[in-house]
Structure formats: structure tokens, C-alpha cells
Structure 1
Amino acid sequence: MFELNNILRQNIKNLTPYSSARDEYTGEASVFLDANENAFGSPLSNAYNRYPDPMQHQLKLRLSSVKGVPARNIFLGNGSDEAIDILFRSFCNPGVDNVIIVPPTYGMYQVSANINDVEAKKVLLTDDYQLNLEGIAEAIDKNTKLIFICSPNNPTGNSINRDDIETLLANFSGIVVIDEAYINYSRQKTFIQELTEYANLVVLQTLSKAWGLAGLRVGMAFASEEIIEVMNKVKPPYNINEASQLLALEALGNVAQVNEWIKQTLQERDSLVLTLKKLDFVLDIYPSDANFILVKTTSARGIYDFLVQHGIIIRDRSKVELCEGCLRITIGTPAENETLITTLQQYK
């Protein structure tokens, strides 16, 4: 049975978070002399001399309407990577606790574990890139606090079986983190709607992929109000800058444009797969629910180097466990995909 206080670090339970000037005051005012800001403005066309809303209230309200989740269940971070790091710092005692990751998967789970001096137990995915539930069950011990699952998975592109994830949620006494960075491209529905069913569920999403805002660094975590309160307690006071908040608010008003780009991306993905399959050095292309494909080849490094020479950059994943011989290719514009194909047709 999951109980938040049983896995929360003692020092976090006792933590008094930093109280910023804007935390202590809410409401309307015309003169702000509380935060030691430059009262004369900024040397820019827009004034950024005031500190941003530390809890991003307006942005969370807009996201609430887009995602169908109460604002109190939303955490915003400097990319999803900040949310990942805060989960480690909130729930994992360095040198004592451990987490479970399921390679091949997103590399920041391991990096964050290393930074926080937390053991990351690896339970490899199966040959068809699904969870090894028996292996995960064997790896769990009394110090296992988090399980990270990326779905759709990076770098393989496939969605993880929903029933398997629900099995973990129902039986694990720690937190299950589902990273849905690519969910906008997936046929699988988001786990956000399951927040009321599972107190130990954290869902990560981002504005960096389908929303095209990678340069703004706005990541989201959706969880119970209790977990969100912990994350807000641990985060830096002004972790999302004013420009990112304003631009993200503007972008969230263009849902139709984003949906059209998603549609085009999926069409381009299907077209690219069909064309790549005709190349004799392509051995397999794995099913994808993301805006990229994993391609098994006869010579991953040789193909990668050849493309680099022609100014085309993809990812060589051939040294990643269970991805031997594989290249990860992001779906580009029609023109970019055409350039890729034309160049690959010259490879010998």
C-alpha cells in the first residue's frame, strides 16, 4: 500500500521552503518595493525587471483547461529534467535508496540517479521493448522509491503496455513515474486521467516536442496534490522565467496549429518508414508512437558518419543495450525528409 510519508525523506518533511517576496503577497498593487528589483525597468522592449510568478498560476490555469486536470495537480519545471531531479531529491536518500529504470530508455534517469548518489537498478525491456514485470518485481526491495517508465519510449518509439503499467501502480509501494514526452503522437491515451485512481502516480509531459517550445524549457508533472506540494516545496523559487511563462501562455492558444503539425508529422513518419524499408542496408524499423523512428541497419556508425559529412545529424544508438546496429531518426519537414532519403540513397 502506498503511503507518501513512508517514502518522503525526513529532511524534506522538516524542510521550510524559501519564502520569496511574491510568495508573501498576493493581490493587486501599483508600487512594488519588496523584492529589491530594478524599479526603472529593463534594457529591452519588454520589461523583465520584476520577478516572475513563482507558482506560475496563470500558466497552470491555461494548462488545466487544455489538459483537463485541476491546476493544483500540476507542477511546472525547467524542462521535465527538473521534475525528474526534484523527485530524486524529495524521495531518495543518497547512498541508501534506489530506483528502477528499464533500458533502453531516456538517459536522464540514470544521470539524475548518479548526480544524487542513488543506485539505479536496471531491468532490461524484453526483446519487443515491453516491461519485464517479473524482473522488476525481483529488483524491488525496501529501499526502492521510484520506477521510471518512458511511454512512448525513447529511443525505441513504442508505447508500453498499459495493463503492465497498471499492474505496477497497483502493487508498488513507491512512486511510478510515467514519462509521456511523446504522448501527443501516440495512439495510447495519457495516464493523466488516472491520477484519481493511483496516489503513487506521477506523469511527466513537456512543451518541448509536439508544442515546439524546446527553447523555452517548460516541463510538466501531474500528480496528487500531496506530491505536487512536495515538489513545489523543493523547487527553486523562480524556476520558470517570465518570458517562458508568457510565451507558453501564448502558444497554448494555438491548439489547432499544434494538432495540424502532429497530423503532418505522423503522415511524414509513415511515408519515411515505407521509403527507408526499400534501402538494402535497413534491416528493420520498429513500430513508433513518437515523432521519431528506430532503424536497425547493417552499419549504424558508417551511415551516421556518412550523413554527418552531408550536414545531416541523426542519433547513433548502436551502443545502447538492445539497440545494437540502430539509428534514431527524428521526423523532419517534408523537405528535410526528402533530403535525408536522397542522401541515404547515395550511401554504399
Structure 2
Amino acid sequence: MFSIDNILRENIKRLVPYSSARDEYQGEASVFLDANENAFGSPLEQQFNRYPDPLQYQVKKRLSEIKGLPIRNIFLGNGSDEAIDILFRSFCNPGVDNVVLVPPTYGMYQVSANINDVEARNVPLTEDYQLNLEGIAEAIDAHTKLIFICSPNNPTGNSIDRSDVETLLTNFNGIVVVDEAYINFSRQKTFIQELTEYANLVVLQTLSKAWGLAGLRVGMAFASEEIIEVMNKVKPPYNVNEASQQLALQALANVDQVNNWIKETLNQRDRLVLGLKDFDFVLDIYPSDANFILVKTTDARGIYNFLVQKGIIVRDRSKVELCEGCLRITVGTPEENNLLLQSLLNYK
């Protein structure tokens, strides 16, 4: 049975977190002489001379309303990458523990493992881009702390079978991280609804994709209260800056706008698939639950270089295991998609 005490690093159990200036008083205040800030203001129209809320209460309050779960189950980070790194630093002893990855998948899991000196045991997806449960079971040992699953998956675009993820959550005594960066574009429901069922579940989401806030770097993690407490303990004191908090809060008031963009993106995805099918050099287009498509071609590098010359940038994934010959193409605006298709008419 999962117990956080069994997988938490001993030094993190003993860790006394940094106490910021904004953590040490209760109630309202109007004069702040505690944090060595510039009391005169900022050389900007908007004032940023004060440190931000270290726990991002207002943003979490709005997310709580949207997601339908308590604030205590929400962590905000400087992008989802910070949440990934904090999970490694909280639960994996360098040079001792390991994690399981299921490539092809998001590359930062491997990078974070390398940075933290944690072995990554790769269990490739099946030919139809689903979990190899038998292979994962064989890879797990007493030092396996985390399993990372991206669903919808990047770069393949498909959702991972829900029952397979639930099998891991039920049988694995470490943490299963389900990265849902592209969930807004998916037919599959979020795993956030399962947090009360699985104490070892962490769900990652982001404001970078459907919400159009990639430049603000605001990532989200949803988990049990005890896991969130650990993540808040380990994170830097002011990890999400004031500008990002303010702008994220403004954006979160515009749910209807985002939903309209999602619908348009899905329409454009279908249109892009139909357009690309007409080209002889396109061998296959894989089903997608994301805002991109994975396209198997006769000459991925050649097409990539041709498009670069036209000022159009896609992602060459042809050297990634199980993605040989593939390009990953993000769904753009109607005008951008038109330009892509028109340019490819001249590819020979």
C-alpha cells in the first residue's frame, strides 16, 4: 500500500523550509518594512516592487472554482517543468533511486532525471503507442519512486488507455505522474477526478497550451494534500512572479474565450489532417487528442529543411524511437495552416 513516508527522502522529511517575509504575520498590513524591498516603487507604470504571494492564493482560488477541488490540492510552479523537478528532488535519492519513463514521451522527464542523478528506466510504448504494462512491471523494483505518463502523449498525440493507468495506480507503491498538458483538446476526461481515489496520483496541467499563456510560465500540479505540502516545502519561496500571477488571474476569467479557441483548434486539426492526406510523401497521420499531429513521411528531414527555408517551423521527430520518419506539426491559425499546405504543394 502507498505511503508517502515510505518514498519521501529522509533529508526532505527533516527539511525546515525557508520562511519568507510574507509567511510570518497574520492579518492585513499597510507598511512593509520587513523584506528589504524598494519602498519607492518600480520604474514602470505598474508596481512590482513587492514580493509576490509565495503560495499564489488568488490564482489557486480561481483554479479551485474551475477545477472543482480544494486549494490545498493545488500546486503552482514556474511551468510544469518546476513541478517535475520538485518531484525528483522530493522523492528520489540521487544515485540510488530510479523512475520509469515510457518513450516516446516528453523529453524533460529524462532531462530532470539526468540533472538529479536519478536512473531513468525506459519502457517503450507499444506499436500503437499504449503502455507496456508487463514491461513496466519488470522495470519496477524497491527503488522505483516515480512513473511518468504523458496523456495525451507528446509527441504521438494520443491518449493513454485509462484502465492501464488505473492498473498502475492500484498496484504501484510509488507515485504515478499523469501529465495532462494537452487535456483541454482531448476526448478523455481528466484524472483530477480520481485524486480522492488514489493517494499516489499527481496530475500535471499547464496554462501554456489551451490557455495561451506559454510566455508566463505557469504550471499546475494536483495531488493529495500531503504531496502538495511536500512540494510547497521544497519549492523556492517566490517561484511564481507577481506579473504572471496577475495576468494568469485575468486570463482565468475568460473561460468562454479559451473554449472557443479549443473548438477552433479542433476544427483546424481536422482540416489540416484532410489537407495533408493528399500529399504522396505523407505515409500516415496518427490519431490526435492534442493541438498537434504526428505525421509519418517519406523524408522527414528533407521536408523539415524545405519548410525552414519557407519560414515555417515544425518539429522533426524522426530520430525519436517509434517516431521514425515523423514530423510533429502544431495546429496553427487558418492562415498559418493555409500557408503550410500551400508551401508543401511545391515540395518535390
Q: TM-score range by the shorter chain?
A: over 0.9
Q: Per the alignment, in what secondary structure is the counterpart of residue 147 of structure 1? A: strand
Deviation at 1:315, TM superposition (A): 0.1
Give TM-score scaled by structure 1 length.
1.00
Matches within 5 A, 1:246-257: 246-257=246-257
Distance 1:276 1:69 in 2: 41
* Residue in structure 2 matched with residue 107 of structure 1 by the alignment: 107
* Residue in structure 1 matched with residue 292 of structure 2 by the alignment: 292
Pair 1:241 & 2:244 matched: no
Distance 2:76 2:48 in 1: 20
Code of the residue aligned with 1:184 in structure 2: it is N
**CA displacement, residues 150-169 of structure 1 (integer Å, 9 cap, x when unaligned):** 00000000000000000000
Matches within 5 A, 1:23-102: 23-102=23-102
Distance 2:153 2:30 in 1: 49
Deviates more, 1:27-36 or 1:209-218: 27-36
Distance 1:105 1:245 in 2: 29
Distance 1:226 1:196 in 2: 12
* Residue in structure 1 matched with residue 268 of structure 2 by the alignment: 268
Pair 1:129 & 2:133 matched: no
Deviation at 1:86, TM superposition (A): 0.1
Q: Per the alignment, in what secondary structure is the counterpart of residue 263 of structure 1? A: helix
Deviation at 1:69, TM superposition (A): 1.2
Q: What percent identity do the matched residue pairs reach?
A: 83
Distance 1:222 1:21 in 2: 26
Distance 1:61 1:24 in 2: 21
Distance 1:94 1:56 in 2: 30
* Residue in structure 2 matched with residue 186 of structure 1 by the alignment: 186
Distance 2:227 2:23 in 1: 19
Code of the residue aligned with 1:241 in structure 2: it is N
Pair 1:118 & 2:124 matched: no
Q: Per the alignment, in what secondary structure is the counterpart of residue 104 of structure 1? A: coil
Distance 1:311 1:167 in 2: 45
Distance 1:176 1:84 in 2: 12
Distance 1:6 1:125 in 2: 29
Deviation at 1:29, TM superposition (A): 1.0
Deviation at 1:26, TM superposition (A): 3.0
Pair 1:312 & 2:305 matched: no
Pair 1:202 & 2:217 matched: no
Distance 2:301 2:186 in 1: 29
Q: Per the alignment, in what secondary structure is the counterpart of residue 93 of structure 2? A: coil
* Residue in structure 1 matched with residue 172 of structure 2 by the alignment: 172
**CA displacement, residues 115-167 of structure 1 (integer Å, 9 cap, x when unaligned):** 00000000000000000000000000000000000000000000000000000
Deviation at 1:345, TM superposition (A): 0.9
Q: Which runs of 5+ in 2 are unaligned?
A: none
**CA displacement, residues 170-214 of structure 1 (integer Å, 9 cap, x when unaligned):** 000000000000000000000001000000000000000000000
Distance 1:185 1:25 in 2: 42
Distance 1:43 1:275 in 2: 50
Code of the residue aligned with 1:106 in structure 2: it is Y
Q: Per the alignment, in what secondary structure is the counterpart of residue 62 of structure 1? A: helix
Distance 2:276 2:25 in 1: 58
Give TM-score scaled by structure 2 length.
1.00
Distance 1:3 1:241 in 2: 33
> What is the aligned-residue RMSD (CA, Å)?
0.4
**CA displacement, residues 82-122 of structure 1 (integer Å, 9 cap, x when unaligned):** 00000000000000000000000000000000000000000
* Residue in structure 1 matched with residue 215 of structure 2 by the alignment: 215
Q: Per the alignment, in what secondary structure is the counterpart of residue 178 of structure 2? A: strand
Q: Per the alignment, in what secondary structure is the counterpart of residue 238 of structure 2? A: coil
Distance 1:133 1:345 in 2: 42
Code of the residue aligned with 1:189 in structure 2: it is K
